[in-house]
């Protein structure tokens, strides 16, 4: 049968529908896809097939396989939350009152000096102000301590910026920084909202209503995962919230700005996060690595002649389900009269040979089969609920003649990388030198790099031990000031890095099964007796961390090469979680960095059609975080948060490798399905299709 045959009546159409039903059920065996007839607002309210619902519904020819609703339980909860009693301003007033009350009742008291009880000084912020004051009093900022005995460990800039607060009392210093941190929390929320709103046009497989439901679902889970770490950060007077805000601000400017100035400012903000603490360099590096690979991959495809200089959105307009074996690419069956022009050859995506174009045609809700070889068809209708035109801040319009999508990617990468480089020079050298002088700043940086940086890089935060010998109490045991920097207790359950989580689990297992020393002593003394801290353990944990890093780098590379326009976003989410896993020290308040991973990696999976995996990846981190803080003495000894986070990262990377790396396997499944569809569908209800010109490349 040829594709230009005439229709054979209702019997033929019914036979084709039965075949479509059978093929869809067999091809989507995981049950993660939803086949529902979309309306003008996405899927109808109360649709019967959702995540985890395996009830059989008869699909029809115009169904949209990418429209997936969040779990049913979330829809019910969100409906109840939207019906909260009372005006909204009342709830905001109560929240503001709670914030102010907590600041005066707890945060301020933590900053009191307590000369006779230094351990009651339970804040870290006075470390920064004490170091900032030392810059202007002639003291060494890396040797002065706060009342608890802790020292400053970071580059000079932040201490210089908060030095004016040293004029206040210690309690008031903590209170001021607490209110500033609350403002940064609001900034994190706003930046995350802007990022997700900007990504909506890049997910045409989800209607506007369905996308907003997913945003609410993912945002709630991200809030639950970051809630206790954020409260811990506020209570301790740490800088983690500012660090996260600068990262989100930087990537938002880099991704959603149309001009090179905005992208460069985004790189500048990311450099600011690196200057606060060195660990954000991993997340920033992953984003730049993904963008660099995308540029190189585009150049390579152009050299190989596999793509042409298409408009920017034509390249990634229809990638949504081409990588997922969960969805069948079922063509739309015509219901009207056949077109006047009929062809004897089939469309290129029904052929058994290799795909002629890297953009796989996805199902269309209306209109004819588009010819993707000539660019994005102007008559193609967007999915229901999708925006008719892309917003200007995404700059996805048709590029001027002679300017390809790869050229735009290269300029975007160059602007962001330039901003990061200029920011590092500015924040490490120029700004501090303008305050304390060039020579003084170089001396401080050399001291930091020589003594503090190696210690922090190995994961040993340093403090001045309160029980260290001195010249009066023990003249023979007195040591010079330079050697009195002692490692803090990095073996406590509050350090949930992968290295320490493995150590604590091994120590607990040795205690329970082999009668080893009590592992609870490690919460008080880092070098308490144990049988785990041996050279073989150090070699094993370093090898495992190196393996995780290799897998992360490989996954991010594939995100850059084949991950589409949301690839850098997923790379950023993986990089933020990678900080927690690969770093030797990850205190509990660091785990607010789970939020970008919960928001961005599932969004990328949704764009690829993997809704069930997106749900699981979003739901696991909140459970780990809540269990850790609720049962710290028990699950902390097991290293649950650290090991669970490492498992989350590996699972996400494996999903990325499967979706992007095994591309030929997915294409083979799609081609085999299309072959069976071609043989049976056109025998029963053949359809005339528009001509597709042969591609000489």
Per-residue pLDDT tens over the stretch 117-169: 888 889 999 999 999 999 999 899 999 999 988 889 899 999 999 999 999 99
| Residue in the structure block whose two tokens are 């939350």 | 81
616 class by beta-carbon count within 10 Å (0-12 exposed, 13-18 middle, 19+ buried): middle
169 vs 472, which has greater pLDDT?
169
The structure tokens listed for 17 are 């529908």
Dihedral through CA 573, CA 579, CA 581, CA 586, nearest 10? -130
Helix H, strand E, coil C: the string for 49-69 is CCCCCCCCCCCCCCCCCCCCC
Asked whether the predicted pLDDT for residue 635 surpasses 90, the reply is: yes
The structure tokens listed for 149 are 């005995």
8 vs 569, which has greater pLDDT?
569
Q: How far is CA 406 from CA 285, 297, 304, 306, 594, in A?
A: 20, 9, 14, 13, 31
Rounded CA-CA distance 279/580 in Å is: 9
Average pLDDT over residues 283-309: 84
pLDDT bin (cut points 50, 70, 90) of residue 43 is very low
Rounded CA-CA distance 657/649 in Å is: 12
pLDDT of 375: 37
pLDDT of 73: 82
User: Nearest CA to 291 among 546, 631, 651, 575?
Assistant: 575
User: Nearest CA to 383 among 216, 215, 214, 208?
Assistant: 208
pLDDT of 621: 97
Asked whether the predicted pLDDT for residue 502 surpasses 90, the reply is: yes
Rounded CA-CA distance 148/170 in Å is: 12
pLDDT bin (cut points 50, 70, 90) of residue 675 is very low
pLDDT of 158: 95
Which of 24-33, 120-129, 234-243 has the weakest average pLDDT?
24-33
Q: In Å, how far from its chain's centre is CA 459?
A: 24
Dihedral through CA 640, CA 641, CA 645, CA 647, nearest 10? 0
Rounded CA-CA distance 60/13 in Å is: 11
672 vs 588, which has greater pLDDT?
588
Rounded CA-CA distance 585/496 in Å is: 7
559 vs 41, which has greater pLDDT?
559
pLDDT of 406: 63
291 vs 455, which has greater pLDDT?
291
Rounded CA-CA distance 247/274 in Å is: 9
13 vs 469, which has greater pLDDT?
13
Contact 291, 412 (CB under 8 A): yes
Rounded CA-CA distance 160/178 in Å is: 18
| Residue in the structure block whose two tokens are 């889970």 | 221
Instruction: Give the percent of the chain with pLDDT over 70.
Output: 65
Rounded CA-CA distance 35/58 in Å is: 8
pLDDT of 255: 93
pLDDT bin (cut points 50, 70, 90) of residue 19 is very low
pLDDT bin (cut points 50, 70, 90) of residue 114 is confident
The gap between the terminal CA atoms of the chain, to the nearest Å, is 28
User: Nearest CA to 339 among 305, 367, 316?
Assistant: 367
614 vs 65, which has greater pLDDT?
614
The structure tokens listed for 565 are 């326009």
| Residue in the structure block whose two tokens are 């989507």 | 28
Mean predicted lDDT score pLDDT of the chain:
74
- Judged by phi (left if over 0) then psi (alpha if -120 to 50, else beta), residue 52 lies in left
Rounded CA-CA distance 225/238 in Å is: 18
Rounded CA-CA distance 248/272 in Å is: 12
Asked whether the predicted pLDDT for residue 42 surpasses 80, the reply is: no
pLDDT digits (tens, 9 = 90+) for 374-427: 333 333 444 433 333 333 333 433 333 333 456 788 999 999 999 999 999 999
200 vs 329, which has greater pLDDT?
200
Which of 200-209, 253-262, 564-573 has the weakest average pLDDT?
200-209
Average pLDDT over residues 5-14: 45
pLDDT of 528: 86
pLDDT of 118: 82
Rounded CA-CA distance 144/485 in Å is: 11
Q: In Å, how far from its chain's centre is CA 356?
A: 33
pLDDT digits (tens, 9 = 90+) for 76-92: 888 887 777 778 889 88
Single pTM value for the model = 0.73
Asked whether the predicted pLDDT for residue 9 surpasses 60, the reply is: no
The H or E element containing residue 312 is: helix 312-316
The H or E element containing residue 216 is: helix 208-236
555 vs 304, which has greater pLDDT?
555
Asked whether the predicted pLDDT for residue 312 surpasses 80, the reply is: no
What count of Cα atoms within 13 Å lies in the side-chain half-sphere of residue 563?
A: 33
Rounded CA-CA distance 409/397 in Å is: 14
pLDDT bin (cut points 50, 70, 90) of residue 554 is very high
Q: DSSP class of residue 534?
A: S
Contact 687, 8 (CB under 8 A): no
pLDDT of 350: 35
Rounded CA-CA distance 637/502 in Å is: 10
The structure tokens listed for 442 are 């170089």
């Amino acid at each position: 049968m040829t594709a230009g045959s005439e229709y054979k009546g209702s019997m033929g159409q019914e036979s084709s529908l039965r075949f479509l039903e059978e093929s869809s059920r067999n091809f989507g065996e995981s049950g993660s896809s939803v086949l529902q007839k979309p309306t003008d607002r996405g899927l109808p309210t109360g649709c019967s097939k959702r995540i985890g619902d395996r009830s059989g519904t008869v699909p029809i020819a115009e169904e949209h396989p990418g429209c997936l609703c969040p779990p049913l339980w979330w829809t019910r909860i969100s409906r109840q939350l939207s019906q909260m009693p009372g005006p909204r301003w009342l709830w905001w007033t109560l929240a503001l009152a709670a914030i102010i009350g907590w600041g005066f009742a707890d945060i301020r008291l933590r900053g009191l000096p307590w000369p006779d009880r230094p351990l009651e000084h339970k804040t870290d912020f006075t470390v920064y102000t004490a170091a900032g004051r030392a810059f202007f009093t002639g003291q060494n900022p890396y040797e002065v301590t706060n009342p608890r005995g802790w020292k400053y460990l970071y580059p000079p800039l932040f201490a210089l910026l908060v030095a004016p607060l040293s004029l206040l009392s210690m309690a008031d210093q903590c209170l001021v920084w607490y209110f500033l941190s609350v403002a940064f929390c609001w900034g994190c929320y706003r930046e995350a909202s802007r990022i997700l709103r900007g990504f909506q046009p890049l997910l045409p497989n989800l209607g506007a209503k369905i996308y907003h439901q997913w945003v609410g679902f993912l945002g709630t889970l991200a809030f639950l995962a970051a809630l206790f770490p954020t409260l811990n950060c506020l209570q301790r007077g740490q800088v983690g919230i500012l660090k996260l805000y600068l990262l989100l601000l930087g990537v938002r400017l880099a991704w959603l700005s149309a001009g090179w100035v905005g992208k460069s400012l985004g790189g500048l903000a990311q450099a600011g996060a690196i200057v606060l603490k060195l660990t954000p360099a991993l997340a920033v590096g992953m984003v730049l690595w993904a963008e660099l690979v995308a540029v190189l991959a585009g150049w390579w495809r152009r050299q190989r002649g596999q793509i042409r200089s298409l408009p920017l959105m034509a390249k990634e307009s229809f990638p949504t389900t081409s990588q997922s074996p969960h969805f069948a690419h079922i063509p739309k069956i015509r219901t009207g009269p056949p077109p006047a022009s009929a062809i004897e050859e089939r469309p290129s995506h029904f052929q058994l040979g290799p795909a002629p174009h890297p953009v796989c045609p996805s199902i269309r809700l209306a209109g004819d089969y588009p010819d993707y070889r000539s660019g994005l068809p102007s008559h193609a209708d967007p999915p229901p609920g999708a925006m008719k035109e892309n917003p200007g801040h995404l700059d996805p319009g048709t590029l001027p003649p002679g300017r390809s999508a790869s050229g735009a990617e290269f300029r975007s990468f160059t602007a962001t990388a330039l901003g990061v480089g200029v920011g590092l020079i500015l924040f490490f050298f120029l700004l501090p030198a303008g305050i304390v002088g060039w020579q003084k700043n170089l001396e401080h940086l050399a001291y930091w790099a020589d003594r503090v940086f190696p210690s922090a890089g190995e994961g040993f935060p340093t403090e001045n031990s309160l029980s260290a010998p001195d010249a009066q109490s023990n003249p023979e045991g007195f040591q010079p000031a330079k050697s009195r920097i002692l490692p803090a207790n990095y073996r406590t359950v509050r350090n949930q890095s992968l290295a320490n989580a493995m150590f604590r689990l091994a120590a607990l297992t040795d205690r329970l099964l082999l009668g080893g020393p009590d592992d609870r002593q490690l919460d008080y003394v880092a070098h308490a007796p144990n049988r785990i801290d041996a050279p073989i353990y150090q070699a094993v944990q370093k090898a495992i961390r190196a393996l995780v890093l290799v897998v992360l780098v490989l996954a991010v590379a594939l995100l850059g090469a084949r991950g589409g326009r949301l690839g850098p976003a997923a790379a950023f989410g993986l990089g933020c979680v990678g900080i927690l896993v690969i770093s030797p020290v990850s205190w509990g308040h660091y785990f607010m960095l789970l939020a970008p991973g919960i928001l961005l990696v599932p969004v990328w999976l949704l764009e690829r059609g993997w809704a069930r995996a997106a749900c699981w990846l979003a739901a696991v981190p909140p459970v780990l975080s809540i269990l850790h803080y609720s049962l710290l003495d028990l699950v902390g000894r097991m290293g649950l948060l650290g090991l669970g986070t490492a498992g989350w990262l590996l699972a996400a990377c494996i999903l990325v490798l499967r979706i992007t790396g095994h591309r030929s396997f997915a294409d083979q499944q799609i081609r085999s399905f299309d072959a069976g569809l071609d043989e049976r569908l056109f025998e029963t209800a053949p359809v005339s299709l528009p001509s597709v010109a042969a591609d000489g490349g």
